[in-house]
């Protein structure tokens, strides 16, 4: 079997209708996986399904994962069809920027609920399906999408976002320790600058400067994110767990 062949595997990608989630979903489909994507908006689900169906078997489910109830509903809908879930990508996220003196409590709740709490609740809800899919030689995979802003101090006042991503990185390590004996690996990806709705305004204002500070002198491309998703989901990464992997052109580790 190829180290990067995902034929016969089932994946769930939250926030899979745009940006990094869409890039990852496309990579998993290209490698042969059957992919379920989620988004808050039904129209976004429909548009992404149309786009991704050219690459493989994809199903979209509308779900607002900011609440535990919706995490449970998404897990139940997938579980009603799929006895095994081999790959879970916790990608759905939100950000908020405001000066320190003006940063609202609601921004903490919105961002932490989606970025930090929902990966925990959804992983727990899908745990029976993940555990049933994993083996000692080919574990089930949980991939949490963090950020390089959780690895270093960001330049923008995104207090809740940066703190939630740092928390997600450590939650990744905690779950890796607990779930490893159950044949489930848990790793995090820490993206740098990629073209996405979340990064749109930042890249419009500072994109050339950000690219110039990266050793590879560019912004991330869709294949870069598709590639790390396929690697962490395939047999080639079976002995990696608890890792936080920057995918950022070298920004987090050289500045």
Pairing of strands 34-39, 58-62: parallel
- Kindly give, in sequence order, each residue whose CB lies less than 8 Å from that of residue 115, ignoring residues fewer than 6 positions away: 93, 94, 161, 164, 165, 168
Summarised one tens digit per residue, pLDDT across range 168-181 is: 999 999 999 999 99
Q: Are the beta carbons of 87 and 28 closer than 8 angstroms?
A: yes
The catalytic residue among 36, 159, 161, 239 is: 161
Please state, in angstroms and rounded to a whole number, the distance separating the CA atoms of residues 179 and 211. 37
> Would you say residue 202 has pLDDT above 80?
no
Nearest 5°: the CA angle 89, 91, 97 is 165
Burial of 217 (0-12, 13-18, 19+ CB in 10 A): exposed
> What is the Cα–Cα distance from 224 to 218, expressed in whole angstroms?
12
* Chain position carrying tokens 């069809």: 81
Verify whether residue 239 is a known catalytic residue: no
Provide CB contacts within 8 A for 24, sequence distance 6+.
13, 16, 89, 91, 143, 145, 225, 226, 229
The radius of gyration computed from the CA coordinates of the chain, to the nearest angstrom, equals 17
Tell the residue number behind the tokens 């034929």, with chain if given. Answer: 7
pTM of this prediction?
0.94
Phi, psi of 54 (to 5 degrees): -70, -20
pLDDT tens-digit series, residues 64-84: 999 999 999 999 999 999 999
Query: Count of CB atoms within 10 A of residue 204's CB?
Result: 8
pLDDT of 161 > 70? The answer is: yes
Write the pLDDT tens digit of every residue in 105-119.
999 999 999 999 999
End-to-end, the C-alpha distance of the chain in Å comes to 39
């Amino acid at each position: 079997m190829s180290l990067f062949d995902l034929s016969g595997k089932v994946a769930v990608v939250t926030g899979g209708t745009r940006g990094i989630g869409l890039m990852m979903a496309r990579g998993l489909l290209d490698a042969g996986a059957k992919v379920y994507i989620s988004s808050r908006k039904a129209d976004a689900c429909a548009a992404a399904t149309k786009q991704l169906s050219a690459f493989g078997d994809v199903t979209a489910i509308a779900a607002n994962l900011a609440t535990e109830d919706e995490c449970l509903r998404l897990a139940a809908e997938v579980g009603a069809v799929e006895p095994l879930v081999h790959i879970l990508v916790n990608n759905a996220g939100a950000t908020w920027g405001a000066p320190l003196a003006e940063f609202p409590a609601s921004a903490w709740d919105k961002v932490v609920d989606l970025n930090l709490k929902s990966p925990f609740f959804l992983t727990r809800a899908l745990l029976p399906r993940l555990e049933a899919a994993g083996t000692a030689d080919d574990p089930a995979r949980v991939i949490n999408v963090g950020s390089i802003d959780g690895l270093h101090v960001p330049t923008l006042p995104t207090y809740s976002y940066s703190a939630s991503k740092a928390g997600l990185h450590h939650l990744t390590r905690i779950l890796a320790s607990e779930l490893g004996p159950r044949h489930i690996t848990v790793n995090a990806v820490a993206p740098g600058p990629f073209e996405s709705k979340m990064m749109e305004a930042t890249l419009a204002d500072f994109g050339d400067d950000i690219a110039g500070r990266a050793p590879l002198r560019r912004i991330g491309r869709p294949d870069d994110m598709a590639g790390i998703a396929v690697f962490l989901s395939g047999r080639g990464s079976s002995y990696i767990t608890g890792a936080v992997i920057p995918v950022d052109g070298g920004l987090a580790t050289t500045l």
